[in-house]
Copies of this chain bind each other. A is one copy, B any other.
Amino acid sequence: MSHRRRTVFFVSDGTGISAETLGHSLLTQFEDIEFTQTVLPFVDSVAKAHESVARIEEARLRSGVRPIVFCTLVNDEVRNALRAADALVLDFFQGFLNPLEAELGTRSTHAVGRSHSAANNKEYLDRIEAINFALAHDDGLGNQELGKADVVLVGVSRSGKTPTCLYLALQFGIKAANVPLTPDDFDRGTLPGALEPHLKKLYGLTIAPDRLAEIRNQRRPDSRYARLENCRYEVEQAERLMRHFGVPWLNSTTRSIEEIAAKILQEVKLERRVY
């Protein structure tokens, strides 16, 4: 029997990010069902597993259908305690640790909550440095330091540059600056002067004019800035400039921040500092 709604839990001994990320990928394959999602992080003891089971049971009684539980639990006792839940429990660790142990010829540590712990100090400092760089070089700030950038994003205002730079920094430790292409540049018919020594580092974002108008209207309703004809003009001029200077670009219109960042990483062949 099919239900249009289903409760989902992501249970983890750490942040829950792994369980949630993969679980969410799987759920997007079932478009016609509405999922109510709850993350239960830091479930690192049998007692906390019992609490989780109680919450799952409560959801089952409320909804009248057994919940789906995605879990990443390293400890066998904690995992077994969770399995007492009357739910479809899908275990993201159990099926994979054994083949990995066999392949690697060694036992896994079964240490709880390791995956996002700050064990790697170098990576942590690299991330912080990349975040500081993105903040200090957002929206054309600090242009004299573009030589230190791994990549410099260009594009019209609200084409997605800032979130992409922040994501590249947080997720990959990449130092990404961004410089807007503005009507001043279009009047002059050339890129901002500060970019000239760094042409090889440039990567462009473009966007469908109607989508741009929608986003800009959220920020400055009924402005000239947000008007569709102005958005059309700016996008056309920006693309012309990028074409002229041989700047590769992608269209951000239907892409998430994650997709834009992953595409840039792939196309620019950047060496990431964080895994």
Contact = CB atoms under 8 A, between A and B. Distances in A.
A176 to B, nearest CB: 13
Nearest to A118: B256
Interface residues of A, number: 78
B170 A100 contact: no
A29 B3 CA distance: 37
Contacts of A138: 135
A220 B189 CA distance: 41
Given A127-B257, A167-B170, A22 B92 contact: yes
Contacts of A110: 29
Total copies of the chain = 2
Nearest to A253: B118
Given A29-B97, A166-B131, A22 B21 contact: yes
Contacts of A74: 29
Given A117-B259, A118-B256, A131 B163 contact: yes
A240 interface: no
A250 to B, nearest CB: 12
A108 interface: yes
A176 B258 CA distance: 20
Interface centre among A254, A257, A261 (most CB of B within 10 A): A257
Contacts of A18: 21-22, 24-25
Interface stretch (A31-39, A148-156, A192-200, A230-238): A31-39
Contacts of A90: 96, 99-100
Given A16-B262, A90-B99, A128-B163, A275 B24 contact: yes
B33 A109 contact: no
Nearest to A108: B29
A222 to B, nearest CB: 18
Interface of A: 1-3, 6, 14-18, 20-22, 24-26, 28-33, 37, 39, 41-42, 68, 72, 74, 88, 90, 92-93, 95-97, 99-100, 103-106, 108-111, 114-118, 124-125, 127-129, 131-132, 135, 138, 162-163, 166-167, 170, 215, 218, 254-259, 261-263, 265-266, 275
